[in-house]
Chains A and B, each alone.
Chain A
């Protein structure tokens, strides 16, 4: 694996393969590695839960049938931990009720044995893209939150009203301050939030979740 490949793999994300059948797990790993994915195998759900990195940009491939904790139970566990990890289930023959129940619980898909190489690759790629998108959204949110926390309480009050679409004069009346003071606060907010327009400000606020009260 070249240096470039390694970097590529880092940005592409990790594929976790959980299957008790050594031959299947090993062969899946062999297949995905041929497509230059970084693959980490676990022979049981328990081991996966204990060792995987929740923060990593990753996709997981679970065998439905496993002794001990099954693939479906493993999904439940992840849902309860508020994990956003996308999951691909390997089934002998998928059935509809199972599919509905699992898909309701998060980003999942199914793939039937034996695998179509292209289909598997496409599925993994799509899932990883989802994971990446999710990861960047999370990062943005974290950043905005950090910016918001730098505002003074008065600036936060003003920001609330700007976001609510009120004019400077109205804000001044609401808070019992002069229009000039409002304008000064406004300039500070734009600065602190690295926003050039009100639209930027709106996005930052929406992405950062509810304002601190």
Chain B
């Protein structure tokens, strides 16, 4: 998540932060860690203090003990020397010594006591008599024999030894007269009086080097632990085990070394690195652990703070999510991988009406499934659990606890953990009762619309105005005719007069007539498109034609046929008087043959016979009158109108058989002087004959040519049919002759009669292309006297 997106989210989240909403509340938890750290630190410090203190006390004790031991070592060493010197002095007093003996004894002693640098025997007058020098390299200084002890300090010690009969160590002194600075000074002299029979004869002076004494007495182990020094009473150091100085704050301990002169102490102080605290591994460990603990605690505290923050964020987030989830209008549910319902949100509960505790933990069938659909939903759930739930979800009926149902749509998606492991399925349920009702209404409306549109016999099509290659819409009627091609649409369009929106179009391909209505409309995508509605009017057209034709036929035949019917009727009429005449005559004949027939009897019969003859005559006159009335009713008539009317009907038949009728009418023909109904009938009859004759022909064309020839119009109907044989030619105009199986044999006969009524001629020629040419002539109204009469 980027910075930009977190900011607003945080702002929103803040509203859900319980901490932020209660800022004054103090959180003890947050300071507990600090307090714990402080207490621990104090405890550790106290413990350390006590430990150090204890350690110091122990070290002090050890120091005291060690220094006591050291002092004892000094004393022992010095006493041993004192005893050795004392024994020498005693022997001198007994005069057992001479110079050489003194020297050998002295040297012997010096071998074992390196600190003893010089041994001298002085007489009563403090003159040196014997002198022995130590082989120790330090001992290059000497008190030569025969020299006098001049130093007052030494003299006073000698005096005190003489007076008290005791040995004494002289106070320490420096003697820089030696060849080097490090000549073993400062020194102290062990002075032992020599008495010979209670008479003082002299004294033995043993010069002891204090630094060498220190070196010889202090063991290396001791020397490593402590700084050891011999000090004067004044504090100045006489000798030390190390040249470095002990700091003043160091603990130290000093004790007197008894045989040495008053005020000389041996003092020890431990080295710094041997600090009892630092040196102690345990302490180190404790400190280390403490540090670790503290660091850990600090880290914990930091983590805790961080965790608190995280927790707060999480809690805020959770509250936010919970609020979102509860505010959702969608019912959320979670099912585990076994299909058990594990979680539902507020909306789910409100929507279904089932309390959460009656839903959670339930395995299918769920309580909200209607009983009669459980099997169906079980199988749907199986699909979901198989991971095959469609993205568009499932539609289902949900039953509330009160038994009422509503329509819902449920969507399923996999519920994945962070690591991608699938925990179960997330379902979202939406109440679609209202949308479904609306969509059902829409669907119903659409269905009604579609049904109406699809059940229309009219072919409805929409094609884009510009391109025209895309059929945007077509109903079933159109598709049935032309499939999904816009060809039909274009064909109609092309067949219509340019500006006209309405027209009747004949499509030879499907042999249908259409009433085509076209208009530009704005299509749903904003394009200008052309909507065409083509109503199949073939039937109507045929009916119209048929009606018109029949009307004409009725008009014609009511005249032609009435003649026949009248003839039949008149024949019957005529039969009556003829029968009567016959009967009377035969009756009379019979009677006269039988004889005895009076004139009175015969006369009325003969009169009746004559009357019947009169009646017959009257009937025949009526027939003549009728026939006269049936002559053609001529009037000036346009050739074009007759041709168009006749072709209009013949075309239907021709189109069915795939035959084209072409017309070639000479321009500016004057009107015909004919009975139009009869001529139309004549022309139609000839065209139909031509069509019938061309059933088997490959060249499917009929030409109707009209030309002027003098004051007559010459009509030629040219077919490419089977033609007319010689035999047929001879009989063609005979009544009841027909080349057609169901023909009456009256057509051509009537045709010729009609032509002849009009003073024209009907002839047949052979078509050089194959087929026949029927030619007939009709008078033109112009330059025709008969026409003038009619007018």
User: Beyond A23-B577, A24-B579, A114-B582, is A30–B605 a contact (Cβ under 8 Å)?
Assistant: yes
> Is A74 located at the chain interface by the 8 A CB criterion?
no
The answer on a CB contact under 8 Å between A23 and B586 is no
Contact call A24/B580, Cβ cutoff below 8 A: yes
Given A30-B583, A33-B587, A114-B583: A21 touches B576 (CB 8 Å cut-off): yes
Do A92 and B594 have beta carbons less than 8 Å apart? Answer: no
B612 close to A (CB within 8 Å): yes
Residue of A nearest to B572 (CB): A92
Contact mask for chain B residues 549-591; partner A; CB cutoff 8 A; 1 contact, 0 none? 0000000000000000000000110011111111110111011
**Complex: A23 Cα to B612 Cα, angstroms:** 7
B342 within 8 A of A: no
User: CB of A210 within 8 A of chain B?
Assistant: no
A117 and B590 contact, CB distance less than 8 A: yes
Are A23 and B582 touching (Cβ within 8 A)?
Answer: no
A113 to B579, CA, bound (A): 6
Report the minimal beta-carbon distance from B460 to chain A, rounded to whole angstroms. Answer: 52
Shortest C-beta distance, B576 to chain A (Å), equals: 5
Within the complex, the shortest CB–CB distance from A62 to chain B, in Å, comes to: 15
Given A31-B586, A92-B575, A117-B586: A26 in contact with B580 (beta carbons within 8 A): yes
Contact A30 B572 (CB under 8 A): no
Max count, chain B CB within 10 A of own CB: residue among A21, A27, A34, A35: A27
B30 is an interface residue with CB less than 8 A from chain A: no
CB interface residues, B 591-612, toward A, < 8 Å? 591, 594, 605, 608, 611-612
User: Is B752 among interface residues, defined by CB-CB distance under 8 A?
Assistant: no
Q: Does B635 contact A (CB under 8 A)?
A: no
- Contact, CB under 8 Å: A114 / B608: no
User: Quick check: is A45 within 8 A (CB to CB) of the other chain?
Assistant: no
B160 part of interface (Cβ distance < 8 Å) = no
B708 close to chain A: CB less than 8 A: no
Across the interface, do B575 and A35 meet the contact criterion of CB distance under 8 Å? no
- Bound together, the chains give a CA A73 to CA B586 distance in angstroms of 30
| Distance from B615 Cβ to chain A, minimum over Cβ atoms (Å) | 7
- Interface size of B as a range: 20 to 34
Chain B residue nearest to A22 (CB atoms) is B580
Contacts of B588 in A (CB 8 A): 30, 34
Complex contact A115–B579 (CB within 8 A): yes
Whether A58 sits at the interface, judged by CB under 8 Å, is no
A161 at interface by CB-CB < 8 Å = no
Taking CB atoms, residues of chain A closer than 8 Å to B584 are 27, 30-31
Nearest Cβ distance between residue B590 and chain A, in whole angstroms?
4
- The answer to whether A28 and B572 touch (CB under 8 A), given A34-B594, A117-B590, is no
Q: Which residue of B lies closest to A25 (CB)?
A: B580
Question: Which residues from chain B contact A30 at a C-beta distance below 8 Å?
Answer: 583-584, 587-588, 605
State how many angstroms separate the Cβ of B596 from the closest Cβ of chain A. Answer: 11
The answer to whether the Cβ of A186 comes within 8 Å of any Cβ in the partner chain is: no
> Once the chains are docked, how many angstroms separate the CA of A26 from the CA of B594?
20
Contact with B along A4-36 (1 / 0, CB 8 A): 000000000000000001011011101101110
A38 CA / B430 CA spacing, docked (Å): 108
The CA of A186 and the CA of B579, in the complex, are separated in Å by 63
Is A132's beta carbon under 8 Å from chain B?
no
Residue of A nearest to B573 (CB): A92
Give the residues from 78 to 117 in chain A that come closer than 8 angstroms, CB to CB, to chain B.
92, 113-115, 117
Q: State in angstroms the CA–CA spacing of A28 and B605 once bound together.
A: 12
A199 to chain B, nearest CB (A): 46
* Alpha-carbon separation in the docked complex, A31 to B581 (Å): 11
Whether B571 lies near A28 (C-beta < 8 A) is: no
Are A113 and B576 in contact, with the CB atoms below 8 A? yes
Looking at the assembled complex, report how far the CB atom of A158 sits from the nearest CB atom of chain B, in whole angstroms.
59
Among B571, B582, B611, B615, find the residue whose CB has the most chain A CB atoms closer than 10 A: B582
State how many angstroms separate the Cβ of A37 from the closest Cβ of chain B. Answer: 11
Known: A21-B576, A115-B579. A31 touches B590 (CB 8 A): yes
Contact of B583 among A24, A65, A92 (CB under 8 A): A24
Instruction: Report whether B583 and A115 are in contact in the complex, using a CB–CB cutoff of 8 Å.
Output: yes
Partner of B590, one of A27, A35, A115: A35
* A113 to B, closest residue via Cβ: B579
Within 8 Å CB of B615, what residues of A?
23
Question: What is the bound-complex CA distance between A171 and B58, given in angstroms?
Answer: 171
Residues of B within 8 A of A26 (CB): 580, 608
Contact A31 B576 (CB under 8 A): no
Given contacts A23-B611, A23-B615, contact A31 B572 (CB under 8 A): no
Known: A23-B615, A92-B571. A114 touches B587 (CB 8 A): no
**Nearest CB in chain B: distance from A45 CB, A:** 18
The contact string, 1 if C-beta is below 8 Å from chain B, for chain A 29-51, is 01101110000000000000000
**How far is B51's CA from A150's CA once the two chains are assembled, in angstroms?**
171
Contact of A23 among B572, B576, B591 (CB under 8 A): B576
Which residues of chain B are within 8 angstroms of A27 by Cβ–Cβ distance? 579-584, 587, 608, 612
Whole-angstrom distance from the CB of A73 to the nearest CB of chain B?
19
Given A23-B615, A113-B575, residue A34 in contact with residue B587 (CB < 8 A): yes
Interface centre among B588, B590, B612 (most CB of A within 10 A): B590
Chain B residues whose C-beta falls within 8 Å of the C-beta of A117 in the assembled complex: 586, 590
Complex alpha-carbon distance, A9 and B294, angstroms: 166
* Distance of B782 from chain A, by nearest CB (Å): 49
Let me know if A31 and B575 touch, CB within 8 A: no
| A28 CA to B615 CA, complexed, in Å | 17
Inter-chain contact A115/B582, CB cutoff 8 Å: yes
Could you say which residues of chain A place their CB within 8 Å of the CB of B594? 34
Interface pairs (25), CB distance under 8 Å: A21-B580, A23-B608, A23-B611, A23-B612, A24-B576, A26-B608, A27-B581, A27-B612, A30-B583, A30-B584, A30-B605, A31-B583, A31-B584, A31-B586, A31-B587, A34-B586, A34-B594, A113-B578, A114-B578, A114-B579, A114-B582, A114-B583, A115-B582, A115-B586, A117-B590
The 10 closest A-B pairs by CB, nearest first: A27-B583, A34-B590, A23-B580, A30-B587, A114-B582, A113-B579, A31-B587, A27-B580, A114-B579, A92-B572
* B contact residues vs A (CB 8 Å cutoff): 571-572, 575-584, 586-588, 590-591, 594, 605, 608, 611-612, 615
- 13 other A-B residue contacts (CB within 8 Å) besides A23-B608, A92-B572: A24-B579, A24-B580, A24-B583, A26-B580, A30-B584, A34-B587, A34-B590, A35-B590, A65-B572, A113-B575, A113-B578, A114-B579, A114-B583
